Amino acid sequence: MNQWSIEGPETLTFGPVRSLDVRIVAGRLNVLASDGPPTLEVAEVDSSPLIVTYDEEHQELVVAYKDLTWEGLLSWLRRDRRNSSVTLTVPKTCAVNAGVVSAQAVVAGFENMTQVRSVSGDIVLDGVSGDVSATTVSGAVESRAMEGDLAFKSVSGELTVAEGTPRRLRANSVAGRITCDLRLRPTGHVTLNSVSGDILVRLPENVETDVNIRSTSGRLVSTFDELFTANNPGSKTLQGRLGGGMASLSATTVSGEVALLKGEKE
Q: Which residues of the chain have pLDDT under 50?
A: none
Residue 189: its pLDDT value, please? 96
Residue 263: its pLDDT value, please? 87
Which tens digit of pLDDT belongs to each residue from 153-171? Answer: 999 999 999 999 999 999 9
Q: What is the pTM of this model?
A: 0.92
State the Cα torsion 159-164-168-174 to the nearest 10°.
10
Residues 23 and 160: their CA atoms lie apart, in Å, by 23
Residue 77: its pLDDT value, please? 55
Residue 206: its pLDDT value, please? 93
Residue 245: its pLDDT value, please? 82
Written in H, E and C, the secondary structure of 146-209 is CEEEEEEEECCCCEEEEEEEEEEEEEEECCCCEEEEECCCCCCEEEEEECCCCEEEEECCCCCE
- Domain-by-domain residue ranges, the chain? 1-106, 140-266
Residue 74: its pLDDT value, please? 57
Question: Closest Cα to residue 111, out of 88, 131, 125?
Answer: 131
Residue 215: its pLDDT value, please? 95
Residue 234 in contact with residue 197, Cβ under 8 Å?
no
Question: Closest Cα to residue 143, out of 125, 118, 166, 130?
Answer: 125
- DSSP labels, the chain: -EEEEE-SSEEEE-S--SEEEEEE-EEEEEEEE-SS--EEEEEEE-SSPEEEEEETTTTEEEEEETT--STTTGGGGGS---EEEEEEEE-TTSEEEEEESS-EEEEES--SEEEEEESS--EEEES--SEEEEEESS--EEEES-EEEEEEEESS--EEEEEEEEEEEEEEESS--EEEEE---TT-EEEEEESSS-EEEEE-TT--EEEEEEESSS-EEES-TT-EEEEETTEEEEEEEETT--EEEEEEESS--EEEEE----
Which tens digit of pLDDT belongs to each residue from 46-89? Answer: 878 999 999 999 999 999 987 666 555 555 555 556 889 999 99
Residues 63 and 24: their CA atoms lie apart, in Å, by 8
Residues 123 and 103: their CA atoms lie apart, in Å, by 9
Residues 139 and 36: their CA atoms lie apart, in Å, by 31
Enumerate the β-bridge partners of residue 198: none
